[in-house]
Each structure stands twice: as C-alpha cells, then as structure tokens.
Amino acid sequence: MDAPPNKENCDIFLHAAKIFHEIGVNVPKIIDKNMSNGFILMDDFGSKHYLDVLKENPSKKKSLYFDAIEALLHLQTKGENYHNHFPFYTRDLIRKEILLFVDWFLIKKLGYELTESEKEQFEICISFLVDNAREQPQVLVHRDYHSRNLMHLSSRNPGVLDFQDAVIGPITYDLVSLLRDCYITLSSDLVELLFDKFYENLNEKIRNRYSKNRFKRFFDLMGIQRHLKAIGIFSRLNYRDGKQNYLKDIPRTLNYIYRVSENYKELNFLRELIANIK
C-alpha cells in the first residue's frame, strides 16, 4: 500500500488492522512498514471482489453472503472487548454525513437549493434518522462492508478490506451496507433470508430486547442514512476527484431510499423530494 503521509493516516489503518486481526477477522496481515514514506507491505488478497464473483456466477450468492454474515457477526461479538479502541459514531458525525447529500448531490450536481421550509422538513428527517441510529445497540462497525470491500478467497471467505474508518456505532449499519449494497441489487427474498439469519444468530439478550420488527425498523432507517451519505459521496467523487464512474450507482441508491421511505410516514418529505428529482 502506498499512502503518502501528507494525504493518508497510516496509523489509523495499522491500528484497525491489528485489532481486526486479533479479533479473528480475515484482514491482510501486516508484513512490514515504512511510516515515513507511507509504505505498508501486507498480504495480497488478489483481485477477485465479491462483486466480481456475484456478477460472473450468481449461483454463489447465497454461500458468499452466508460467509459474509458469519464474519460480520464474529466482528460484532468479538469486538465487544475493543470498544475503547475506536471512536464513537456520534450524532454530529451521522448528521454531517447526511448533509453530504444536500451539499454535493442536491446543490452541486442538481443545482437544487432547498427552501427555508424544505430545510426545516429535511432537518426533521435528519433528527429522525439520527435518533434511530443512536437507539440501536452500539457495536464495532466496519463502516464500508459491501461487495467491493469483500474479497473472494480460496479459504476463510471473505477477505475484508478498507476497515480504517471503523467506529463504535449502530448494530445494523454494516448489515444494511451488505444487503442493500450500492453496487449490486439483491432479490428481496435473499435479503429477507440473510436478515433473518443475522437476527436469529444475534446475542439472545439483544433478541429478547428488540423484536424482529423493531430490528427491521432499525435496519430500514439505517439504510436511508447510509444511502443519503453514499449519494453525497458519489457526487463528491465525481466533482472533487474526477471519478465519474460512481455516478452510475446513484439511481440504484436513490431507489432504495424511495422504496423504503414509503413505509415510514416520518420520511414523507424525503420520499416526495426523491420523487421530484429521480
């Protein structure tokens, strides 16, 4: 890995890599490092992302996702002893991420300025989504757990990459990143099957405290927050970094927001907004 010190913080990556490795998550082993120049030598997981395999061989979907669910449950369970090693996913950070949608997608890409009334309504939606995130059990969160950061290996699937932004945050964050992936659409039947598998394998104390319906509400609303953030980031990657390829994933991500928000009256304004710009 070539990460110039003036652009990347290698210490954060190495810190997360050490802990994920201790937990037993299959992340690249650090072999050597040169911190002054930003070079890190580590295991090579190859070039086969989950996304590549899912597109080439759809029949493997169920087995690959079962492996990913098991790895995620392992991360959350074993990560309980490391909560003091990672920053918390604060209300301010969650809100700041949602506003990427406004700044980089609505304003920068669409030239759409919210009126004062619309800003007030959008703030109500933000508060609703932030409250949902903070009401959930807080666990170790990878924060970008999806088909382009999971590698297909000959053993111990998946190989897990891009974990440097890990935080202590909502229990459904990584699950919705995986099942409502911005880069590939899974069938509703498969999403339901995998959601059930995850819920049924949760700690009994969590299942006793939160019904499946309550947990599904956590999951749905967490997805809205993440997808607003993702759309903002995709737009930013285009305008700030010249990476146009991410724009093609915005329609899928917008569609997640539109479909899920239909089930929550608190998000009527957001759904109408999406309907007007789709």
In tens, the pLDDT along 204-239 reads: 999 999 999 999 999 999 999 999 999 999 999 999
Domains and CATH numbers, the chain: 1-44 (no CATH), 46-277 (3.90.1200.10)
Average pLDDT over residues 54-73: 96
| The pLDDT of residue 155 | 87
- pLDDT attached to residue 222: 98
Give the pLDDT mean for 156-163: 95
The 10 Å CB-count burial string (b at 16+, else e) for 177-204 is bbbbbbbbebeeeebebbbeebbeebee
In this predicted structure, the answer to whether residue 48 has a pLDDT above a threshold of 90 is yes
What's the pLDDT at 63? Answer: 95
pLDDT at 86 (0 to 100): 97
Mean pLDDT of the chain: 96
Buried b (16+ CB within 10 A) or exposed e, 70-99: ebbbebbbbbeebeeebeebeeeebbebbb
Q: What is the pLDDT of residue 1?
A: 86
Quote the pLDDT of residue 38: 85
Phi, psi (deg, nearest 5) at residue 131: -60, -40
**pLDDT top residue among 36 and 229:** 229
State yes or no: pLDDT of 7 exceeds 80: no
The pLDDT, as a whole number, for residue 135 is: 97
Indicate whether 6 pLDDT > 80.
Answer: no
pLDDT in tens, 89-134: 999 999 999 999 999 999 999 999 999 999 999 999 999 999 999 9
pLDDT at 277 over 90: no
pLDDT higher for 178 or 2?
Answer: 178
Q: What is the 3-state secondary structure (H, E, C) of 230-258?
A: HHHHHHHHHHCCCCHHHHHHHHHHHHHHH
Q: Per-residue pLDDT tens for 247-262?
A: 999 999 999 999 999 9
